[in-house]
C-alpha cells in the first residue's frame, strides 16, 4: 500500500481525487498541504485525512509519506517536484507538467539523481474509451490514420480555479489546461503498436487563439494544427466558453472511429466504427474508474509492477509541443517541435 501526500489540495482534489482514493486498492491518502491552512483543516476533517502539514517541505520529509502527488498551480510544479526529489519521494505530478520544457528537464534530472519514480497524472490514458480506440487502430480496423481530431470544451465561468487566468501561476488558458489532454490522447491512441510509438511524435504545430475580457492575457479558445511523424494530420480545438464536450475522432484509409465525450469520467460513452453510412461496430464503456486505476498503477510501478502509462520522460515531448503551440500563437508562424 502506497501512502500519498497531496501538495496543493484544491477543487480538483475534492472533485476527482477523493473519489479516486476511495476506489483505489493499492493507494491511500495519508496527508495534505495547501496554501490556506483553514481550508486544509476543513478538508482533513471532511475526508478523514490523517495528517495536515504546515509546509511542503514538512510533507515531503515525513516518513509517513511514500509518494507526493503534486496538484498545485502550474508555476509551482518545478519547486514542488525538486523538493519531493530532494527528500527521496516518488512523484506524481498534475499536467501540464511545467511552464516550459527546460523546467521538465530540470525535474527529470532531479528525479534520476534521487532514483525515484516520476509520473504525470494523465488520467485519460486510463480511460477505457481511449484504450478501445487505440486497440482498434492498432488492429488495422480503419487502415492508416489520415486525420485525427480532439476537442475539449467547458465553461470556466464561475470556476473556483481562478488562478487559471493568472499567467504568473498558469501555463496558459485552455491550451495548457485541457489541450494537453487532447494532444496526449491523440499521441496515445496513435501509438498503440510498438512500431508506431516514434511515429506518434508531433513534429510541428500551428496555433490560432483568441483572448476575451474574462480571460485577460491568456487564451479563451484556440485551434491547434498538428503534424505527426507518421504523416497523420490532426487538430485540437479547446475553449473555456462552451458547454462540456470532449470529442475524439480518427479518420483512416477505410473507416472512421468516433467517440463523443471520449474523455469524460462522468457518464458512459460510446465508441463507434463507421465506414461511410455503415456502422461496423459500436461499444459502450465507462471511464468512471480511470482516476483510481491511475493512482493504483503508479503505486504498482513504485512497488516493481508494470510500468506506469504516463512516465514523466514521455511528458517532455508533450511540453515541447505546448512550448511550440504558444510560440506559434505569439509569432503567427508554424513551429517545428524539437
Report pLDDT digits (tens) over 100-156.
999 999 999 999 999 999 999 999 999 999 999 999 999 999 999 999 999 999 998
Question: Which secondary structure element, helix H or strand E, spans residue 60, and what is its range?
Answer: helix 56-61
**pTM: predicted TM-score of the whole model, two decimal places:** 0.95
Q: Is the peptide bond before 38 cis (omega within 30 degrees of 0)?
A: no
Report the C-alpha gap between 71 and 126 in whole angstroms: 18
Query: Domain 125-287 adopts which CATH fold?
Result: Dihydrodipicolinate Reductase; domain 2 (3.30.360)
Distance of CA 129 to the CA centre of its chain: 15
Residue given cell 463523443 in the structure block: 260
pLDDT tens sequence across 284-330: 999 999 999 999 999 999 999 999 999 999 999 999 999 999 999 99
Fold: same for 2-120+294-306 and 125-287: no
Q: What angle do CA 316, 320, 326 make, to 5 degrees?
A: 145
Distance of CA 176 to the CA centre of its chain: 10
**Set of cell numbers at residue 124:** 485519460
277 has a pLDDT exceeding 80: yes
195 has a pLDDT exceeding 90: no
Q: What angle do CA 205, 210, 216 make, to 5 degrees?
A: 120
Q: What is the pLDDT of residue 193?
A: 63
Task: Map out the domains of the chain as residue ranges.
Answer: 2-120+294-306, 125-287
Q: Which CATH superfamily is domain 2-120+294-306 in?
A: NAD(P)-binding Rossmann-like Domain (3.40.50.720)
pLDDT grade, residue 257 (50/70/90)? Answer: very high
pLDDT grade, residue 157 (50/70/90)? Answer: confident
Least-confidence region, from 132-141, 165-174, 237-246: 165-174
Question: Which secondary structure element, helix H or strand E, spans residue 225, and what is its range?
Answer: strand 221-228
Amino acid at each position: 500500500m502506497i501512502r500519498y501526500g497531496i501538495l496543493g489540495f484544491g477543487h480538483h482534489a475534492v472533485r476527482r481525487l477523493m473519489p479516486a482514493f476511495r476506489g483505489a486498492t493499492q493507494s491511500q491518502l495519508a496527508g495534505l498541504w495547501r496554501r490556506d491552512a483553514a481550508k486544509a483543516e476543513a478538508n482533513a476533517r471532511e475526508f478523514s485525512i490523517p495528517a495536515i502539514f504546515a509546509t511542503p517541505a514538512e510533507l515531503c520529509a515525513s516518513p509517513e509519506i511514500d509518494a507526493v502527488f503534486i496538484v498545485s498551480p502550474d508555476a509551482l510544479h518545478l519547486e514542488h517536484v525538486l523538493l519531493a526529489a530532494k527528500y527521496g519521494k516518488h512523484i506524481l505530478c498534475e499536467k501540464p507538467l511545467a511552464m516550459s520544457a527546460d523546467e521538465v528537464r530540470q525535474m527529470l534530472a532531479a528525479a534520476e539523481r534521487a532514483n525515484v519514480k516520476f509520473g504525470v497524472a494523465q488520467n485519460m490514458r486510463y480511460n477505457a474509451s481511449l484504450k478501445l480506440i487505440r486497440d482498434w487502430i492498432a488492429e488495422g480496423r480503419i487502415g492508416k490514420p489520415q486525420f485525427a481530431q480532439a476537442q475539449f470544451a467547458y465553461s470556466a465561468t464561475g470556476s473556483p480555479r481562478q488562478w487559471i487566468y493568472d499567467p504568473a501561476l498558469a501555463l496558459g488558458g485552455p491550451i495548457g489546461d485541457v489541450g494537453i489532454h487532447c494532444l496526449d490522447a491523440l499521441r496515445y491512441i496513435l501509438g498503440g503498436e510498438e512500431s508506431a510509438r516514434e511515429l506518434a511524435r508531433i513534429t510541428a504545430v500551428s496555433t490560432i487563439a483568441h483572448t476575451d475580457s474574462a480571460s485577460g492575457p491568456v487564451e479563451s479558445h484556440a485551434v491547434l494544427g498538428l503534424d505527426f511523424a507518421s504523416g497523420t494530420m490532426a487538430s485540437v480545438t479547446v475553449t473555456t466558453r462552451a458547454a462540456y464536450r470532449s470529442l475524439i475522432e480518427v479518420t483512416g484509409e477505410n473507416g472512421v472511429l468516433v467517440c463523443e465525450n471520449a474523455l469524460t469520467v462522468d457518464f458512459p460513452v460510446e465508441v463507434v466504427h463507421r465506414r461511410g453510412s455503415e456502422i461496423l461496430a459500436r461499444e459502450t464503456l465507462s471511464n468512471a474508474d480511470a482516476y483510481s486505476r491511475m493512482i493504483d498503477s503508479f503505486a504498482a510501478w513504485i512497488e516493481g509492477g508494470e510500468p506506469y502509462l504516463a512516465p514523466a520522460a514521455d511528458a517532455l515531448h508533450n511540453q515541447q509541443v505546448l512550448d511550440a503551440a504558444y510560440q506559434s500563437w505569439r509569432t503567427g508562424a508554424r513551429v517545428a517541435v524539437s
